[in-house]
Chains A and B, each alone.
Chain A
Amino acid sequence: MAQLEPLLTMESVGKEFFGNRVLSDVTFSLGRGEILGLVGENGAGKSTLMNILFGMPVISGTGGFEGKIFFDGREARFSSPFDAIDAGIGMVHQEFSLLPGFTVTENILLNRESTKYNLLVEVFGDRLRTLDRKDMRRRAEAAVSAVGFSIDPDTLASEMPVGHKQFTEIAREIDRSHTKLLVLDEPTAVLAESEAEMLVQSLRGLSKKGISIIFISHRLQEIIDLCDKIVVLRDGSIVKETRPAETDIFQIANLMVGRNVESAAERRRSMASTDVALDVDKLWVDMPGETVRDATFSVQKGEIFGIGGLAGQGKLGIANGIMGLFAAGGSVSVKGRKMRLNDPAASLASDMAFVSEDRRGVGLLLDESIDWNIAFTAMQVHDKFVKKLLGGLVKWRDDAAMQAAAEEYIKILDIKCTSHRQRAVELSGGNQQKVCLAKAFVVSPEILFVSEPTRGIDVGAKRLVLDTLKRVNEELGTTIIITSSELEELRSLCDRIAIVDSGRISGIRPATDPAPEFGLLMMGGELPETGSDIDAKGGDA
């Protein structure tokens, strides 16, 4: 490979979102025909970096970025993705942007169709040119073979296996005759192993033709097999730039997760008994963006059970599916009794409560006051805060009891508000989260699902939320299932942690296991294990 001058150079690129630093001093370069592997945890800054490179409006709309980017010998400061495309950067996204009813040809050439002249063009303009199907087919076939796979160009996208969709997306970028740099964001996340292998082959082929590639993946083995250069991002800065020959999966996983501090649970397992509180068998959940395909696990009574994994792999879907918020199937038993799925009322009635990751949408009635928000579920499901007249014929709201409960929780959870009548929408994120927790506590559930409890709240509130969860678990014996993107948070709180990858549980480990172990599970570095941990439920099903 000719190393005349690098195709892409980033010089101390940084970015702040509203005073929140997400990238700082990112410097690297990429030669022509080189393949760069970009790895990092969720929130490490990978997507922000790519958004900057691609000139996404989200960057310029929030004050631009620091540093300099040179592409193809010139300073690049793209104001829109179309500028980036014109300059020769192609991007293949994680979620497909293929049109289901279009053929391979039509998808590859979307908005770049070959056309023919006809007389009406003179009157109505160029958009009335007719399509030149023959030429389109020829171009599509050329692009497809350049990517190195074979498919009938007349196949509809809706009838293709996912692997072929991915190849079609890449072929679409290749058809732009001048594509010099291809960015692939998690291209293999949805692929079967053989398909991923084919993709790796075809990317190698492309790089031989002089196309540079930035390959973002959480499958570290692929990164090592494919890339010429590996850049590890953590908390917005590059922690390591290395070559595959000089490293191994374990080292990269370690670098990504970082924080060698062993903050993991020094928890005593005094509360946990051998009784099974929740038994989940072959659960699937159709939650957009967080699809759960096949999850099997069981949680013991009094346990704090963590569910971790990367974004989009399905960890959030599990709690949402069990609570009936998204279509689900499989079987879920609570305390040995099978529960009806797809019915939120049934889930709530089996003494479960849910603190949703979607605080403002699912968690709160934004325009209602704090006391109403806290009492709402309890009132609906458990008939609390209700005065009965005429032997229950007429039900009355018990405002005094609601106020008392609200004031109690405001005190316990330190909710900063003007009074219990303040509307939820006026509270800060952290205080809204506390209201959500109070709403769940007030029904005194036996099993409490908490999703992303600390997302978007400040450090002080974070501590308080986590401590409260811990206290509730210790004092009341509530079984808590906590879903979080932050591994350290899970490790400091939980007894056991399940890692979800591609909609399946890739492993369940005690929280005291070293962090890189979990890192590997997240990165698909290990096959799903059906070992002793999962079978811990024993024969009491």
Chain B
Amino acid sequence: MSGPCTSKRFKTSDNIKHFLISNSVPIIFIGLSALAIPVSGFSAAYLIQEMLTRLARNSFLVLSLLIPIMAGMGLNFGMVLGAMAGQIGMILVTDWAVVGIPGLVLAAIISMPIAAVLGFVCGNVLNRAKGREMVTSYILGFFINGIYQFVVLYAIGIRGMIRIPFTGIDLKIPVTNPQLVLSRGYGIRNAINLTGLRHALDNAVQFDIPVGGASPFTINVPASTYLLIAAFCLFIVWFRRTKLGQDMRAIGQDMAAADSAGIAVERTRVIAIMTSTVLAAFGQIIFLQNIGTMNTYNSHDQTGMFSIAALLIGGATVSKASIANVFIGVSLFHLMFVVSPMAGKELIGQAQLGEYFRVFVSYGIIAVALVLHAWKRYQERERARRDLRGEA
């Protein structure tokens, strides 16, 4: 019986090592935060408030990434397509001056078909680029960004820029609010104030928790937003248990095997990307109502990068991600975001350094997480090779 016994002991140390390797990214970030929080000098109450706000703001977006990962399509950099759709919805709703919850619902209704069409295009492109989904969707994001910019810069306005020859008809999406439209008559301004929509969801149901002590402080909890996020989480849990979810898991593991079992691989992959893109549009709407202003030409860019960075920091990989990864990741990433400028200021006397650090961190973490993923896969292959010779 000594054989299995020694192999078990060997396995325990191997398992600990395996655990450390597979969770290396969150562990590094917990370590960094532990160093930076005391240096920054922020109070616990302040940090908790910030985290609650930012979790409400970003979780929905990050959750929208889970379904394509399940289907083995990696991180959906194409979620910026959804974000663009969401922004178009917000622009129109602001122009029509529909405020409050109805405004947000209307924005969602407008953005849904746009996101679905973009997701359909994206999914079909990715079916022609199997195994290179991430870089393809990333570049596709740039391409669609060009179309988006054309639309918001030229095709929306009081009068259109493009006139169909000989007819005198302007090709335009009418937006009349001068606060939205550039003074030349077409094109949307860069910074838009979403007055009527600001905190519309956050404030629907909310409560304050007073914190006593030396510096009294109230922590505000946007309960309605959290309810929506909770509903989304339940949806994902339920979705995993449907036939469609099971098919996606199968495709994610081995496309050829799923295909030979008769699962419609390409169609299912398109559905995964479409779902993700539509959900990202909703996520962007939630994100924008919390911020209260919109950067017409930049907001969506940051959305994709920051969501993916957050998910990776939460310990997800390009092939495996859970709901827990989302919340851990958003918390850790934004903790770094809040803390690092102040820590930079305290350490070096320059808040700018912290600002620089934020950007550096978000891009750096994606690179590091991808490298770690490749390294992990290499380690696992090495592990598998140990068995090659059998018992010998």
Name the interface residues of B252-268: CB closer than 8 Å to any CB of A. Answer: 253-254, 256-258, 260-263
Whether the Cβ atoms of A131 and B389 lie closer than 8 Å is: no
A111 with B238, Cβ < 8 A, contacts A99-B254, A284-B389 known? no
What residues of chain B lie closer than 8 Å to A329, measured between beta carbons? 385
Q: Residue B184 at the A interface, CB < 8 A?
A: no
A101 with B262, Cβ < 8 A, contacts A126-B243, A130-B238 known? no
Proximity bits, A87-110, B CB within 8 Å = 1, else 0: 000000000011111100010001
Selected interface stretch from A286-294, A301-309, A349-357: A286-294
Q: Residue A64 at the B interface, CB < 8 A?
A: no
Cα distance, A154 to B243, chains bound together (Å)? 18
Cα distance, A99 to B243, chains bound together (Å)? 16
Q: Residue B298 at the A interface, CB < 8 A?
A: no
A129 with B250, Cβ < 8 A, contacts A111-B262, A111-B263 known? no
Whether the Cβ atoms of A130 and B241 lie closer than 8 Å is: yes
What residues of chain A lie closer than 8 Å to B256, measured between beta carbons? 97
Cα distance, A291 to B381, chains bound together (Å)? 14
Name the interface residues of B146-193: CB closer than 8 Å to any CB of A. Answer: none
Whether the Cβ atoms of B253 and A129 lie closer than 8 Å is: no
Among the interface residues B247, B262, B263, which one has the most CB atoms of the partner chain A within 10 A?
A: B262
Whether the Cβ atoms of B238 and A97 lie closer than 8 Å is: no
Interface of chain B: mostly helix, strand, loop or mixed: helix
Q: Residue A11 at the B interface, CB < 8 A?
A: no
Min CB distance B342 to A, Å, is: 42
Cα distance, A130 to B244, chains bound together (Å)? 9
Q: Residue A25 at the B interface, CB < 8 A?
A: no
Cα distance, A503 to B392, chains bound together (Å)? 13
Whether the Cβ atoms of B246 and A97 lie closer than 8 Å is: no
What residues of chain B lie closer than 8 Å to A129, measured between beta carbons? 242-243
Q: Residue A179 at the B interface, CB < 8 A?
A: no
Whether the Cβ atoms of B243 and A127 lie closer than 8 Å is: yes
A99 with B242, Cβ < 8 A, contacts A81-B260, A111-B247, A293-B390 known? no
Q: Nearest residue in A to B390 (C-beta to C-beta)? A: A293
Cα distance, A138 to B59, chains bound together (Å)? 38
Cα distance, A101 to B261, chains bound together (Å)? 16
What residues of chain A lie closer than 8 Å to B253, measured between beta carbons? 99-102
Whether the Cβ atoms of A102 and B247 lie closer than 8 Å is: no
From A131, A282, A293, B246 is in contact (CB under 8 Å) with: A131
A131 with B242, Cβ < 8 A, contacts A97-B260, A98-B257 known? yes
What residues of chain B lie closer than 8 Å to A282, measured between beta carbons? 389
Whether the Cβ atoms of A111 and B389 lie closer than 8 Å is: no
Q: Residue B214 at the A interface, CB < 8 A?
A: no
What residues of chain A lie closer than 8 Å to B241, measured between beta carbons? 130-131, 133
Q: Residue A82 at the B interface, CB < 8 A?
A: yes
Q: Nearest residue in A to B260 (C-beta to C-beta)? A: A97
What residues of chain A lie closer than 8 Å to B247, measured between beta carbons? 111, 127
Min CB distance A538 to B, Å, is: 23
Among the interface residues A99, A102, A293, which one has the most CB atoms of the partner chain B within 10 A?
A: A99
Cα distance, A133 to B245, chains bound together (Å)? 14
Min CB distance A68 to B, Å, is: 27
User: 14 other contacts beyond A81-B260, A97-B257, A130-B241, with CB at 8 A cut-off?
Assistant: A97-B261, A99-B250, A99-B257, A99-B258, A102-B253, A111-B262, A111-B263, A127-B242, A128-B244, A130-B243, A284-B389, A293-B390, A293-B392, A294-B389
A-B contact pairs, 13 of them (CB 8 A): A111-B261, A111-B262, A111-B263, A127-B243, A128-B244, A129-B243, A131-B241, A131-B242, A131-B246, A282-B389, A284-B385, A284-B389, A293-B388
- List of 8 A-B pairs having minimum Cβ-Cβ separation, nearest first: A127-B244, A111-B261, A97-B257, A99-B253, A110-B261, A284-B388, A127-B243, A128-B242
